[in-house]
């Protein structure tokens, strides 16, 4: 993690600490209201983690903020993985590295001499995307999908995990209906499905960068 990353984490911590301090002084804990086991076999209060019986609005707000920040971190990590981890570290398909391309300020207009040539596929053939290439827009970098075996393994494993979590969720619904297990199984199912989408994009979709002139 670079210096900017540490600064972001520090700012998040400094923001959450006073919020959590306020949240600790919320409403006092209340008593559990359990289901009469002589009437029903459901056990919604059973779980593997001790949790408070009642949360104050300030505590709920802190938890929501933490969840949102965690979601942003997961999305950023997934985006970085898709664009860096499995992409080839090689010069762009136009023949030069990304740093050697002519830089044009936003709103500027590059000359014909500075316009990059058409991108080439990995097999040497031109990249043809008529819906992308116009007089003011062209493909400057193209990488074919890697189609690596690791992608198949990742997608297969994540698909199996999604099926397993879905079966556990259904089984919990038909039996004890424990709230904590509902949350864990649902989170595992949806995260597995999201991970399979990330894996498909990373390993089985081409990487394309498009340049476009803009007039303001």
Task: Give 103's pLDDT tier (boundaries 50, 70, 90).
Answer: very low
Task: Give 99's pLDDT tier (boundaries 50, 70, 90).
Answer: very low
> Residue 13: pLDDT above 90?
no
Closest CA to 203 of 128, 132, 153: 153
Gap between the Cα atoms of 46 and 178, Å rounded: 6
> Residue 97: pLDDT above 50?
no
Percent of residues, the chain, with pLDDT higher than 90: 24
**Lowest-confidence segment of 24-28, 80-84, 157-161 by average pLDDT:** 24-28
Tokens 């505590």 correspond to what residue?
Answer: 59
CB under 8 A, 24+ apart: contacts of 197-202: 198/78, 198/81, 198/82, 199/151, 199/154, 199/155, 199/158, 200/151, 200/155, 201/82, 202/81, 202/82, 202/85, 202/86, 202/151
Question: What are the tokens at 193?
Answer: 């499905």
User: Which residue(s) pair with 209 in the sheet?
Assistant: 141
- Give the Å distances, CA to CA, from 179 to 17, 31, 106, 175: 28, 17, 52, 12
Tokens 């297990």 correspond to what residue?
Answer: 181
Q: What is the pTM of this model?
A: 0.69
Q: Are 48 and 180 in contact (CB under 8 A)?
A: yes
Phi, psi of 85 (to 5 degrees): -65, -40
Q: Which of the two residues, 46 and 56, has the higher pLDDT score?
A: 46
pLDDT attached to residue 141: 80
> Residue 105: pLDDT above 50?
no
Task: Give 31's pLDDT tier (boundaries 50, 70, 90).
Answer: confident
């Amino acid at each position: 993690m670079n210096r900017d990353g540490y600064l972001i984490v520090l700012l998040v911590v400094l923001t959450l600490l006073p919020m959590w301090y306020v949240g600790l002084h919320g409403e006092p804990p209340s008593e559990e209201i359990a289901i009469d086991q002589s009437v029903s076999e459901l056990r919604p209060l059973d779980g593997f983690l001790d949790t408070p019986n009642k949360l104050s609005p300030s505590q709920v707000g802190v938890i929501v903020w933490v969840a949102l920040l965690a979601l942003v971190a997961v999305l950023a990590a997934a985006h970085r993985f898709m664009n860096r981890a499995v992409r080839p570290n090689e010069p762009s398909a136009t023949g030069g590295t990304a740093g050697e391309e002519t830089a044009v300020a936003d709103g500027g207009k590059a000359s014909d001499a500075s316009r990059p040539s058409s991108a080439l596929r990995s097999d040497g053939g031109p990249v043809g995307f008529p819906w992308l290439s116009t007089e003011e827009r062209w493909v400057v970098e193209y990488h074919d999908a890697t189609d690596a075996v690791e992608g198949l393994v990742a997608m297969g494993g994540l698909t199996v995990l999604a099926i397993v979590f879905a079966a556990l969720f259904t089984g919990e619904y038909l039996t004890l209906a424990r709230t904590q297990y509902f949350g864990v199984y649902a989170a595992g199912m949806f995260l597995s499905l999201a991970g399979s989408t990330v894996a498909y994009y990373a390993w089985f979709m081409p990487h394309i960068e498009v340049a476009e002139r803009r007039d303001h």
